[in-house]
Amino acid sequence: MNINTSCIASTLPINLNCGCSDPPTLTLSSTSGNTCLYTPYTVNGNTFSGSTTQVTLSHDGDGNLNNTTFTSSPFSFTYTPAPSDAGHDVTITITTNNPLGSPCVTSEATFVLTINPLPTVTVSASPTSVCYGESSTLSAGGASTYTWSHSLGSGSSKTVTPSSTTTYTVTGTSAAGCTNTASVTVTVNLLPTVTASADPTSICEGEISTLTAGGASNYSWSHSLGSGAIKTVTPNSTTTYTVTGTNTEGCTGTTTVSVTVNPNADATINPVGNLCDNQSLIILTAATPGGLWSGEGITIPSTGAFSPANVGTGTYTITYMISGQCGDTATIDITVYSSPEVTAYATDESCFNGNDGQAWVEVTNGTPPYTYLWNTYHTISNLNDLAPGVYHVTVTDTHNCSDRDTVIINPGIGDCYQTHIYVPNIFAPDGKGNAENEYLRVYGKGIKDLDFKIFDRWGNEVFHTTDINVGWDGTYKGQPALAGDYTYMLRVTYYNGNNESLKGHIYLIR
């Protein structure tokens, strides 16, 4: 029976608020959710209406609600799980008040919050202690996915090569999306700074050198020398020894030391070719370097610098001596020959662009026969019909001694021709291949630069060039120009320095 309407209800369920003029109502935005341990969960957008003036919240978990009574709608509530809630469902009950009393009744709803436990993340390093430059493998477990610190990215296993002792943190995420962290430290042991020395570092064949290592606890040598900090060696040739030192942490470092073995010195002087008295300096060499040079013409005894120009022509005995127990001495006779003396002459160009200059050479001293080479690649003593410019000639005698001179041929200042310019006053391009008919060009002599423009009767520029070899083909904008009278303007600069401006008419015939 509907109390409000005094009617009989023939269907089930029975409306408990039958007869209530303004029943309390309650609506939740959702009825279930899940969160991770220690992560508060908020339900927003819940409402109540009707005669309800407040709602009361309760729960069966061990955590806390941020508020248990709300007097305005909509309302939100937040549940913060307790450790003992992990792995359980917490039911939060929301109940309206009933300010109108009977026959109205309260409205009630429940929200079930699943509390997911945090994963128990484990992490290990193998090995946990490494030497500088070595690697360690990090392994994580207890979760579904993993993210590492130090920009290592994701994955359950990572290989690292830290430069110093480093603590790595891994964040593991369970299938429910809950996270936890774990850390592991990889200890990096420094490598020993191994030192090695040889005494002496330079020996003659058959002599002994003592090798000494330091900076570590134990040492192992190359060349089958075995172990120990001190070793005595007698190498047959220059040898580099490697020693590996190990410190108390088991880390190793290496270094090298070289023992130079000097063979019995060979002072044999390398052959010297023909020398000329105009050479400023040469460096004498021998089979074994490092000795001292003496004799007339030697300017630097330690380097073997010999100056033919200082001593002049003649034959000189030079001595080379290597001191010390591995030393040796040798001598050589050096002959210095007279060099040719070259004088070049020239006559200038007779007129502008005449290209009729001359150059020739005269030679004294040296030993004939002579050979000639100009920068024009000519191999004779005199050249004709030369353009203005700089000309070099090198003369070489039979002992390969040489000298060089330079002349300048100056350009002529007068014209070799009558300077002039000419523009035809009529042309008829007919497409039959006659170059003089097909193109209107500027003609002349002694022209250095020009600026040639053609205008139609309306003042439109139909052609323009600054190249004397480019002419007008009788077209304008890609189409044959109209027959008739055209005006040209021409500015020209001659090689003789004069300038001229011309203006005239051209008749185009079709």
CATH number of the domain to which 205 belongs? 2.60.40.10
| Whole-angstrom distance, CA of residue 439 vs CA of residue 147 | 82
Q: Does residue 500 share a domain with residue 429?
A: yes
DSSP string, 133-146: T--EEEEEESSSEE
Give the alpha-carbon dihedral of 413, 416, 419, 425, to 10 degrees: -160
Whether 171 contacts 181, CB under 8 Å: yes
| In a shared domain, residues 167 and 98 | no
16 belongs to a structural domain: no
Q: Is it the case that residue 320 has pLDDT exceeding 50?
A: yes
CATH of the domain at 438: 2.60.40.1220
* pLDDT value for 324: 84
Three-class secondary structure of residue 275 per DSSP: strand
Q: Is residue 200 part of a domain?
A: yes
Q: Give the per-residue pLDDT at 9.
A: 38
Share of the chain above pLDDT 70, in %: 95
pLDDT in the model for residue 412 = 86
- Cβ neighbors of 10 (< 8 A, separation 6 or more) are none
The 10s digit of each residue's pLDDT in 274-312 is 899 999 899 999 999 999 999 999 999 999 999 999 999
| In a domain? residue 66 | yes
Q: How far is 20 from 23, CA to CA, in rounded Å? A: 6
DSSP-derived 3-state class of residue 355: coil
Residues 204 and 250 in one domain: yes
Is residue 29 located within the same domain as residue 112? yes
**Is residue 329 over pLDDT 50?**
yes
Band (pLDDT 50/70/90 cuts) for residue 436 is low
Domain count, the chain: 6
If DSSP codes are grouped into helix, strand and coil, which group holds residue 95? strand
Residue 146's domain comprises: 122-189
pTM: 0.47
Domain assignment present for residue 348? The answer is: yes
6 has pLDDT over 60: no
Q: Give me the DSSP letters along 24-64.
A: -EEE-S-SEEEEETT--EEEEEEEEETT---EEEEESSSSE
Q: What is the mean pLDDT of residues 89-98?
A: 97
Highest mean pLDDT among 1-15, 340-354, 366-380, 496-510: 366-380
Residues 44 and 106 in one domain: yes
- Give a yes or no: residue 325 inside a domain: yes
Start-end of H helices in 346-458: 435-438
Question: Phi and psi for 241 in degrees, rounded to 5?
Answer: -100, 140
pLDDT, mean over the chain: 92
- pLDDT of res. 433: 65
Judge whether 18 lies within some domain.
no
Alpha carbon distance, N-terminus to C-terminus of the chain? 118
Are residues 30 and 112 both part of a single domain?
yes
Instruction: Verify that 32 and 107 share a domain, yes or no.
Output: yes
| Non-local CB neighbours of 240 within 8 Å, separated by 6+ positions | 256, 257, 258
- Residue 430 has a pLDDT of 78
Q: Which of 256, 225, 257, 244 is nearest to 131 (CA)?
A: 244
Q: Are residues 245 and 233 in the same domain?
A: yes
Comparing CA positions, the residue from 190, 208, 188 lying closest to residue 198 is 208
Mean pLDDT in residue range 91-109: 96
Asked if residue 2 belongs to a domain, the reply is no
Shared-domain flag, residues 109 and 159:
no
For residue 415, is it within any domain?
Answer: no
